[in-house]
């Protein structure tokens, strides 16, 4: 394995679905909020998708049956989930991160790893970059996140979770052992509650006495977890991002409550989406070859239509006409629309493109 020193970040959005519900309905702020089946009080069915930090104080957790969650927190407000909204906001946020032009791996709807090594050589500056990322995400999408910065991917992920919500935790190489020393054994990936309890019964509660042991000693004390722990404590786990994800498309989409044939609404949404997508294309100095549109009808059938140009372009009028052509036949569909998306793909950098250092990029 390649153990070149690297500075890696893990970013995870805070109580993501709940944050989106609060953003859309600010009255929910500071409430004991559960996202899940809104009929659970009657039907006793469903599981908690996520919940606010206030609800977590009562022991409510993602994946818990709604029935149990409501027993723990009888006054909770339940919000149903709006998944297309979550993916729309997630795409916008991941797009902000992709624009930094460094290796990125998006691992779920609300988390991503980034390799900061090419833009900074020190952890203090990395922490500052993390702060700028957080501010930019909040400024644009009104969602908070937590970031961990560390020499390996696993430690970066543990660090992003360490002080949630709305936190940055920087674990520079010289702090790795003290970071682990502060952790309960059950916080270690791979050591579940059961094994944690087993170790506790043998007097091993946290990592403090284990971090500076040799591999052999750890194997003697911990059995099969010994090797795993030694690698973890000594940064001998993965520290690079394999799939550098090049930007494949620029897109914006919007969900709304469309009425059949409401051309005025559709036209204004299409113009607005086009303008935003076009603006991103120009700001990011891309040229593109393929225009696509996505449309979702009120019965949830979703279609996409695309048209490729003969040559790369960033001509506004030409692209807008294509978007209008691609959407035209669906706007009068009697089912009515609930989502429209506009996307440009087959991207190429414009000749005058220069990667911008992150601080410059964000403060432009
Ligand atoms: P997480 O990042 O695990 O949780 P979270 O963002 O809600 O809270 P935290 O502040 O601790 O990061 O998951 C992201 C979203 O994925 C979450 O908001 C809802 C969804 N999800 C499910 O639908 N089911 C699940 O069991 C989990 C764990 C998450
Ligand atoms: Mg999260």
Asked, as a colleague might, if the bond just before 165 is cis with ω within 30 of 0, I would say: yes
**pLDDT for the residue 364:** 38
Pocket test for ligand 1, best of 13, 18, 50 (most atoms within 8 A of CB): 50
Answer yes or no: are the C-beta atoms of 87 and 68 closer than 8 Å: no
Supply the residue whose CA is at minimum distance from atom 21 of ligand 1.
49
Cβ 21 under 6 angstroms from ligand 1: no
Looking at residue 363, its pLDDT comes to: 40
pLDDT for 170 equals: 98
Domain coordinates in residue numbering, the chain: 1-16+82-243, 17-81, 249-346
Give the model's confidence band at 89: pLDDT under 50 very low, under 70 low, under 90 confident, else very high.
very high
Per-residue pLDDT of 136-194, as tens digits, reads 999 999 999 999 999 999 999 999 999 999 999 999 999 999 999 999 888 898 888 88
Q: What is the CATH number of domain 17-81?
A: 3.40.1170.60
Among protein residues, the one with the nearest Cα to ligand 1's atom 5 is: 15
The 10s digit of each residue's pLDDT in 3-24 is 679 999 999 999 999 999 999 9
Expressed in angstroms, the distance from the first to the final Cα of the chain is 39
Q: Pseudo-torsion of CA 67, 71, 76, 79, nearest 10°?
A: 0
Which is catalytic among the residues 111, 136, 141, 253? 111
Cα 161 to averaged position of ligand 2 atoms, centre (Å): 9
Asked whether the predicted pLDDT for residue 356 surpasses 60, the reply is no
User: pLDDT per residue over 309-328, tens digit each?
Assistant: 998 888 899 999 999 999 99
Q: Is the CB of 297 under 6 A from ligand 1?
A: no
The pLDDT of 67-73, averaged and rounded, is 97
Which residues crowd ion ligand 2, with CB under 5 Å? 12-13, 16, 110
Q: Closest residue (by CA) to atom 20 of ligand 1?
A: 49
pLDDT range class, residue 84, cuts 50, 70, 90 = confident
Mean pLDDT of 345-352: 84
Q: Where are the beta strands (DSSP E) in 154-256?
A: 168-170, 249-255
pLDDT, tens digit, for every residue of 93-143?
998 898 787 899 999 999 999 999 988 989 999 999 999 999 999 999 999
- pLDDT, tens digit, 9 for 90 and up, residues 223-272: 888 999 999 999 999 998 975 556 688 999 999 988 998 999 999 999 99
Where does the pLDDT of residue 32 fall: very low under 50, low under 70, confident under 90, or very high at 90 and above?
very high
Q: Which two tokens stand for residue 7?
A: 């500075």
Q: Which CATH superfamily is domain 1-16+82-243 in?
A: Reverse transcriptase/Diguanylate cyclase domain (3.30.70.270)
pLDDT of residue 222: 87
Nearest-angstrom CA–CA distance, 364 and 359: 9
CB 213 within 8 A of CB 308: no
Can you give the pLDDT at residue 265?
Answer: 95
Under DSSP, the state recorded for 206 is B
Long-range own/partner contacts, residues 108-113 (CB < 8 A, 24 or more apart): 109/16, 110/12, 110/13, 110/16, 111/10, 111/11, 111/12, 111/13, 111/160, 112/10, 112/11, 113/8, 113/9, 113/10, 113/11, 113/153, 113/156, 113/157, 113/241
Q: How far is 91 from 341, CA to CA, in rounded Å?
A: 12
The class of domain 249-346 in CATH terms is alpha beta
Per-residue model confidence (pLDDT) at position 354: 63
- Indicate the pTM of the whole model: 0.75
Spatial contact of 12 and 160, defined as CB atoms under 8 Å apart: yes
């Amino acid at each position: 394995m390649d153990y070149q020193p690297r500075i890696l970040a893990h970013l995870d959005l805070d109580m993501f679905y709940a944050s989106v519900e609060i953003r859309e309905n600010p009255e929910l702020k500071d409430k004991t909020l559960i996202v899940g089946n809104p009929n659970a009080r009657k039907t006793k069915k469903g599981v908690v998708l996520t919940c606010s930090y206030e609800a977590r104080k009562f022991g409510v957790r993602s994946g818990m049956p709604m029935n149990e969650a409501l027993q723990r927190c009888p006054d909770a407000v339940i919000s149903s989930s709006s998944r297309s909204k979550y993916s729309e906001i997630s795409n916008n946020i991941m797009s902000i991160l992709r624009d930094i032009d460094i290796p990125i791996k998006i691992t779920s709807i609300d988390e991503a790893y980034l390799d900061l090594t090419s833009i900074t050589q020190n952890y203090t500056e990395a922490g500052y970059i993390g702060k700028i990322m957080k501010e930019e995400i909040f400024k644009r999408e009104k969602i908070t996140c937590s970031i961990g910065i560390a020499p390996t991917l696993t430690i970066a992920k543990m660090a992003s979770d360490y002080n949630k919500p709305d936190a940055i935790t920087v674990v520079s190489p010289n702090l790795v052992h003290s970071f682990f020393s502060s952790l309960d054994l059950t916080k270690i990936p791979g050591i579940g509650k059961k094994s944690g309890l087993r170790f506790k019964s043998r007097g091993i509660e946290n990592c403090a006495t284990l971090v500076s042991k040799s591999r052999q000693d750890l194997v003697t004390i911990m059995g099969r977890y010994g090797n795993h722990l030694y690698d973890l404590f000594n940064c001998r786990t993965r520290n690079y991002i394999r799939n550098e994800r090049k930007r494949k498309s620029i897109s914006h989409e919007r969900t709304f409550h469309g009425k059949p044939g409401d051309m005025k609404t559709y036209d204004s949404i299409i113009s607005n989406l086009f303008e935003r997508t076009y603006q991103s294309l120009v700001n990011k100095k891309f040229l593109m070859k393929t225009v696509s549109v996505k449309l979702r009808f009120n019965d949830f059938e979703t279609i996409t239509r695309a048209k490729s140009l003969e040559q790369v372009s960033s001509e506004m009028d030409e692209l807008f006409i294509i978007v209008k052509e691609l959407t035209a036949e669906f706007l009068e569909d009697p089912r009515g629309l609930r989502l429209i998306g506009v996307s440009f793909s087959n991207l190429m950098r414009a000749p005058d493109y220069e990667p911008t250092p992150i601080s410059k990029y964000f403060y432009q």
